[in-house]
Structure 1
Amino acid sequence: MTVRVFWEARWAPIGRLVRRTALTLWSAQPRLAVSFVLILIVRGGMAPLSLWLIKGLVDAISHGHAADTVRILLVLGVAVLATQVLHVQSLLLQASLNERFTAHVELMLMRHANRVVDLRLFEDPAFHDRLQLLSRQAGQRPMGLLAALSNLLPSALTTVGLLGLLGWIVWWAPLLLVLGAVPLGQANARLQRASWQMQLERSGSNRSMRYFSGLAVSEAHAKEIRLYGLAEFFEQRYVEAFERSHADALRQRRRLLIMPLLAACAFVAVNGITFAWVTSRALSGELGIGVLVLALQVLVSLLVYVGGVAGSLGVLRGHLHFFQELFGFLDQPATLLGQANLPVPPSPWRDGLEFERVSYHYPEGQGGVFDLTFTLRHGERVAIVGENGAGKTTLLKLLCRFMDPSSGTIRVNGRPLADIDVEAWRSRIAAVLQDFGRYHLSVSENIGLGDVQHRTDEARVSNAARRARLHEDVEGLPSGYATLLGVSFGGMDFSGGQWQKLGVARAFMREADVVLFDEPTSALDARAEADLFERVEELSDGKIVVIVTHRLASIRSVDRILVLQRGQLVEQGTHAELMARRGEYARLYELQASRYTPNAP
């Protein structure tokens, strides 16, 4: 292997990683970053300077030069004072830069995570573990990198200065000490790389620990845990997950510590050889008192500094590995198939929103939809029904283009949806999802998130609330639309029905072509449910309205009903047509009706 090939394979990637990380630090706050590095460089030169001054002081005292002694003492005092001032200043700069750098990295991660348009990735456990690990460490690794840098740079410069002083006394000693320190640095770097991999491998157990510990402080689970006496059960599950994780980590740490210990012993042995040589020369009278004091101080200091540099390099390599993973995530492209980024066709769509033999297969081989063919048209209210696992949620995900079909084509007025810009398409959709967001923001902001560009338009927000029958509830709040929701920040909480009406109001904020309702009335009482479906009829004017629900009595008046069974479209038609057909829809409808009609068969 040539030197060039070895460089490209081993060191060039590290060089590119260091450069990109440095540019990321620079972009967080350029002036702070420059000031911080300059102070670290000056700090690194102070220790060798102080040792050289001490050598001169010893020589001056031993020769009885009083004037030189006073001058050197004054310079030494200034150097010590400067060292302390620079240390305090570097701590202040580091604290400020820490905050900037950490916020910058977390924003980078947030922005890219929000740009991941294919939600299949969020359902992949490996991707989820990687993203969660990055997210948790984004608040620690930038700070750790700066801390390692603040130790490494001054220590490295001090070490270079000390080696220079030692080389002035013993020319071969610096080379010997550097060779002895290389294995120590490599062992520490290997330990840090393995530490990251170990965290990734333990992600499953750590996720279980976070889940079970989170239950203890979760408002959503507090009532049931106390009602059923589940606290001890979940504590035990936490302990079991911890013991598994800890046992694995302990085994790996024991194995990984062997090389760093051997490398440390080798470095101490090399330093001992140099100590022995200096001592023997001093005994033979070849070294003066000042040189001897300098040599001994340098050797003792090198034991600390070289070990510190090797350790800091290993720690720095561990932090750089985080940035390597971060940049790998940031460079990961979206996985949706569309490349053309065409605009959404102007509405109304003469050819409608068409599913042509659309299938989607989940990677694990369970669920999905198969060979779906139907068309949705403007001004039409369409309900999608079926038992759990029939494919209703998958169909909605395909409509929102959270994922692309495994086969078949979805067309918008004849244009393949895969060729349309994802963000442009989603901007034409409003939805009330089952798991809609309950954001700890004001009522007005919660509603306004349905159309962020108009979130401060009070008239539009209140109009959306009125259409969702939420306005009267908001008027009774202490601060009206400015009332903060969410007990985490000292706000108040809505009932389940009020939250659901807020989710509907959020959908009403957006002027959309397609409106999706996924179980929109699950938390509403009968009167609120009837009001909502009246509003749905008003909303359908000029729009495509899709309703997914298990409450079949609520959808008798829709224009068309699609019936899914095991991922296939088995029936479609009006309520009357499907009841006359006596198929799957009639069976489901009569099964529900039997619970309310005593004489039903």
Structure 2
Amino acid sequence: MITVFILKLSLFAPALLLGAVIDNLSLDSSAESLTIPYLLCGYALVILVTAAVAPIQTYALTRLVQQTVKDRSISWIAEIFKKEFCVFNNLRIGHLIKATDRGITAHEQILNFFITVGLPLIIEILVVSILFVHFGGAQLFAALLTASCIYLYVCHRIIQWRTRHINDVNDVNDSEDEVSERLFSTLRAARSIKLEGAAEQMLSPLNLAFERYARCATTVASSAAALGSAKMLFIGLSTCGLLVWGVRNQGMTNPTLTIGELVALCSIAGGFLTNISGIAEAYRSAHQFMADKVKLQQTLSLPRFDGPDRSLEPPASPISSLELAACEVSGRHLTLDASLRFKSDESVAITGPSGAGKSTLLELLAGMDGAYRQYLSLNGICVERIRGASQLRALRYCPQSPVFLPGDLESGVMYGHAAGPEVLEQVQKLSLEALLSQLNLNDTASNLSGGQAKRLSLLRLLNRPGRFNLFDEPTASLDQELSMTTWDTLMDAFKGKGLICVTHDIEALARFDRVLVIQQGRIVADGPWHLLRREQGLLKGIAEIAER
């Protein structure tokens, strides 16, 4: 604050010193003329002070802005991680990234507007008003301030008018994100697309988005030209009024201003008008990011996974129970006609044709879908009332598609959790010793094969097992030998713990205490596999599963 005030004073000092030099040049007295060298030295000194203080002001204000943005960014990302799992659905992740990135940028721009533009301008208005009153130009300053307010209001109205078009452009950006994601996925299959002659059809949605964007951007550019015209009128007419006032003052019998003071005042007023037009431009830039800030706030306002109503701990019990009440999952092709109950000392397989609803059921059992968490109970307590962290410790879930971060085993695979000594034994059983000895995952883990990635992902639950451990296709991408080894490892590691696995591996079903068979979104069989396989009505479904 003090630095900004000193800088503003140093910016006005050259104009005042220049006016004093002009007045001294018009005097005949040699004594007065001797002061000119001192004034010129003062002028040079002020320039040096300004040059020294300006970087300090820029550093101080920028540091304040960036420190605030850093703190808010850390807070916002942490808050986003507390949201429901559905927020991180693959279909929405692109929008989430864009909303977060643009929202943080918007916050930075808005802070820049208020701190680096608004604060110095307030100080400048205070200093300029004092100078005008001192030189007898209080009425002139009031007129300039009124003209500035009118100009800023006109700019505000123009910016409000262009907001609709900016929102259109932002909508186009969102649609481009969707199209770009689709285009990226289709380019991975470019050879097949070219063979089918479908390139034109695949590019047409993106072309339409570009066309719409071009129309909206043209309108936005036109509004920018209107703002430029308003700026020219404001500065031009205000300067003209200032000159008229100065000419009239000098035409008086006893002018209240000397020529030097008039020059100084005109110079200060010119800088003031330029800064007023600068605040309009800064406001336009900040306002353009308001829509992005709103979208970020909408994301931050989404329900938390661990809300305030979730405060209970699951009761301790030698054998825990997990129950999913009857429900119908809309849009997910799954209907439970009766409740399902699981115990923590049994192993359960969920099998059925592709698209039957197996993965959906597993996600419900893991408590990942907030809309249906009310139907899930752990040891008689509704999971919706259990603390989120306690739920995730009790109900461990390994999704079908492995996801890693760049780095080694602890950072890239375990996400910062230390690998326990028992994991080393599991690593040997899963034939991962050679891989882990030189493991360094890249950004996309593309340096892993599908089988390696799958086995690595299993280590998370093997390292930190829960009361119930849920795996979605744990042997996907594995050959028969590795599949058998993996099943042996899981059965041994989770013996006496709840184990629930979705699988198409018919040969592995006999390993489980219990098998659920799902067909067309409904559970059609539930029991030991050696009994279920004898039922004639399941033969067709079993054949379909075996084909997978």
Q: TM range, normalised to the smaller chain?
A: 0.7 to 0.9
Name the counterpart of 1:537: 491
Tell me: CA distance 1:317–1:205, structure 2 relative to 1, closer, same or farther (3 Å): closer
- Same amino acid, percent of matched pairs: 18
Name the counterpart of 1:411: 377
Tell me: CA distance 1:355–1:205, structure 2 relative to 1, closer, same or farther (3 Å): closer
**Do structure 1's residue 345 and structure 2's residue 299 form an aligned pair?**
no
2:350 corresponds to which letter in structure 1? I
Equivalent position to 1:129, from 95, 101, 107: 95
Aligned residues of 1:177 and 1:271 also touching (Cα < 8 A): no
| Cα deviation digits, residues 467-514 of structure 1 (max 9, x gap) | 433224334xxxx3xx311167xx981111111110112221113111
1:465 corresponds to which letter in structure 2? V
Return the TM-score normalized by structure 2: 0.84
Equivalent position to 2:55, from 76, 83, 88: 88
Please give the alpha-carbon distance, in whole angstroms, between the structure 1 residues aligned to 2:155 and 2:513.
69
TM alignment of 1:442-481, pairs within 5 A: 442-449=408-415, 452-455=416-419, 459-475=421-437, 480=438
1:157 corresponds to which letter in structure 2? I
Name the counterpart of 2:209: 241
Please give the alpha-carbon distance, in whole angstroms, between the structure 2 residues aligned to 1:416 and 1:533.
31
Tell me: CA distance 1:537–1:464, structure 2 relative to 1, closer, same or farther (3 Å): closer
Name the counterpart of 1:6: none
Residue 327 of structure 1, CA deviation: 5.3
Name the counterpart of 2:172: 202
Tell me: CA distance 1:210–1:162, structure 2 relative to 1, closer, same or farther (3 Å): farther
Please give the alpha-carbon distance, in whole angstroms, between the structure 2 residues aligned to 1:331 and 1:68.
66
Please give the alpha-carbon distance, in whole angstroms, between the structure 1 residues aligned to 2:307 and 2:103.
31
Tell me: CA distance 1:309–1:525, structure 2 relative to 1, closer, same or farther (3 Å): same
1:66 corresponds to which letter in structure 2? S
Name the counterpart of 1:312: 282
Aligned residues of 1:559 and 1:574 also touching (Cα < 8 A): yes
Please give the alpha-carbon distance, in whole angstroms, between the structure 2 residues aligned to 1:339 and 1:281.
73
Residue 563 of structure 1, CA deviation: 2.2
Name the counterpart of 2:442: 486
**Do structure 1's residue 387 and structure 2's residue 357 form an aligned pair?**
no
Return the TM-score normalized by structure 1: 0.78
User: Taking CA–CA contacts closer than 8 Å with sequence separation of 6 or more, which of the two structures ends up with the larger relative contact order?
Assistant: 2
1:528 corresponds to which letter in structure 2? L
TM alignment of 1:526-565, pairs within 5 A: 526-565=480-519
Name the counterpart of 1:51: 15
Residue 382 of structure 1, CA deviation: 0.9
Please give the alpha-carbon distance, in whole angstroms, between the structure 2 residues aligned to 1:94 and 1:135.
22
Equivalent position to 1:171, from 124, 135, 138: 138
**Do structure 1's residue 579 and structure 2's residue 533 form an aligned pair?**
yes
Tell me: CA distance 1:398–1:338, structure 2 relative to 1, closer, same or farther (3 Å): farther
Name the counterpart of 1:8: none
Name the counterpart of 2:266: 296
Further displaced range: 75-84 or 326-335 = 326-335
Residue 257 of structure 1, CA deviation: 5.9
Further displaced range: 327-336 or 338-347 = 327-336
Name the counterpart of 2:541: 588
Please give the alpha-carbon distance, in whole angstroms, between the structure 1 residues aligned to 2:422 and 2:339.
37
Tell me: CA distance 1:267–1:124, structure 2 relative to 1, closer, same or farther (3 Å): farther
Secondary structure, aligned partner of 2:148: helix
RMSD between aligned residues: 3.6
Unaligned 5+ residue runs, structure 1?
Answer: 1-36, 596-601
Please give the alpha-carbon distance, in whole angstroms, between the structure 2 residues aligned to 1:339 and 1:354.
20
Secondary structure, aligned partner of 1:388: coil
Please give the alpha-carbon distance, in whole angstroms, between the structure 2 residues aligned to 1:208 and 1:328.
19
Aligned residues of 2:19 and 2:261 also touching (Cα < 8 A): yes
Name the counterpart of 2:329: 360
| Cα deviation digits, residues 145-170 of structure 1 (max 9, x gap) | 33773344334433443344334343
Residue 353 of structure 1, CA deviation: 0.6
TM alignment of 1:18-417, pairs within 5 A: 37-63=1-27, 64=29, 65-93=32-60, 100-116=67-83, 118-123=84-89, 129=95, 132-138=98-104, 141-142=107-108, 145-146=111-112, 149-167=115-133, 168-188=135-155, 191=159, 194=163, 197-198=167-168, 200-208=170-178, 210-211=180-181, 224-225=189-190, 238-254=206-222, 258=226, 261-262=229-230, 265=233, 268-283=236-251, 286=255, 287-317=257-287, 326=296, 329-330=299-300, 332-334=302-304, 339-349=309-319, 352-361=321-330, 365=331, 367-406=333-372, 409-417=375-383
Tell me: CA distance 1:408–1:323, structure 2 relative to 1, closer, same or farther (3 Å): closer
Residue 359 of structure 1, CA deviation: 3.3
Unaligned 5+ residue runs, structure 2?
Answer: none
